[in-house]
Amino acid sequence: MRQKKDLTGSEKSKIVRYLAEGCSSLKIVKLLKRDHRTIKRFIQNSQQGRKKRVEKPRRKITAHELRKVKRAAAKMPLATSLAIFQSCNITGVPKSTRCAILRDMAKVRKAERRPPLNKTHKLKRQDWAKKYLKTDFSKVLWTDEMRVSLNGPDGWARGWIGKGQRAPVRLRRQQGGGGVLVWAGIIKDELVGPFRVEDGVELNSQSYCQFLEDTFFKQWYRKKSASFKKNMIFMQDNAPSHASKYSTAWLARKGIKEEKLMTWPPCSPDLNPIENLWSIIKCEIYKEGKQYTSLNSVWEAVVAAACNVDGEQIKTLTESMDGRLLSVLAEKGGYIGR
């Protein structure tokens, strides 16, 4: 009988099944019509099993060195394992050991994209929460701007690609291919806008006030009743174009002044419920890693996504303010989860 070099996968499976049924190697040779040496060699190799990998012992780290590593990791949260160990003057430790030691005391996480809060910021956030704790937030108009790009966020362009399939090609353009600046507001269960800032316009105090005049005041605010205007509180963040003397004086001439213009604490995007609306809209327009080829197409997508946001979703966001204020006080002015 001719001897072949290798057994096929199906033949190996059959040999295992025949052995489980109690067949002898001689009987298996007759059933498969293969050389007895090939069958015998496969059976012997299977019985021997794979050799276990001998793991090299880790370099022993003393308790004192561990404390130094822990302090260094706390001071250098975004440093590599090598940089952390080098700062402690600990050498000769392989990468696998360094990472294993760090995993016992830390966890790899992305850096938070939030402005850092100092003591003054936290105190102002607490003062703001105390000031507006008894406010009827159904009468507050929460406003903000959002920029959307043609490319969309890079981190969202991931998905499940089948075996043997090529990943789809994703366009890469400078500055995300350009983008559109969008302004909107929410009050109670109503969405105001969205309104598009004209392409190429940089929002300074003058252009911001002119934009509000052409969109917010002419298209929405003028249609409201006198009692609504009397009770409405206008909220905007502390962007330079918002908080300047020019913008404040201009809004005062429009009747939005003193208690009708909400003061805003520094570094507080987590307290503005419209930020959650932006997240809802971005998830919709960039779902499945979608990209756009023109500014008009991405603007149309924003409008369509905004139309799909119902009043109940907006009401949930505006009604969350009481809980946010309590959370700020509980965190002693620190950031809250949104």
Buried b or exposed e, range 244-273, using 16+ CB within 10 angstroms: beebeebbeebebeeebbbebbebbebbbb
Mean pLDDT of 7-20: 83
Q: What is the predicted pLDDT for the residue at 22?
A: 82
Q: Per-residue pLDDT for 20 more than 50?
A: yes
Q: What is the predicted pLDDT for the residue at 206?
A: 96
Q: What is the predicted pLDDT for the residue at 115?
A: 75
Q: Per-residue pLDDT for 4 more than 60?
A: no
Separation between Cα atoms, residue 252 and residue 301, nearest integer Å? 35
Closest CA to 336 of 151, 150, 112: 112
Tell me whether strands 179-187 and 233-235 are parallel, antiparallel or unpaired. unpaired
Mean pLDDT of 107-127: 86
Asked which of 40-54, 245-259, 277-291 is least confident by mean pLDDT, the reply is 40-54
Confidence of residue 1 (pLDDT cuts 50, 70, 90): very low
Separation between Cα atoms, residue 314 and residue 276, nearest integer Å? 9
Q: What is the predicted pLDDT for the residue at 338?
A: 53
Mean pLDDT of 240-256: 96
Q: Per-residue pLDDT for 53 more than 70?
A: no
282-322 residue pLDDT tens: 999 998 888 898 999 999 999 999 999 999 999 999 999 99
Q: Per-residue pLDDT for 277 more than 90?
A: yes
- When the pLDDT of each residue in the chain is averaged and rounded to a whole number, the result is 88
178-190 residue pLDDT tens: 889 999 999 999 9
pTM: 0.70
Superfamily of domain 119-155+177-331: Ribonuclease H-like superfamily/Ribonuclease H (3.30.420.10)
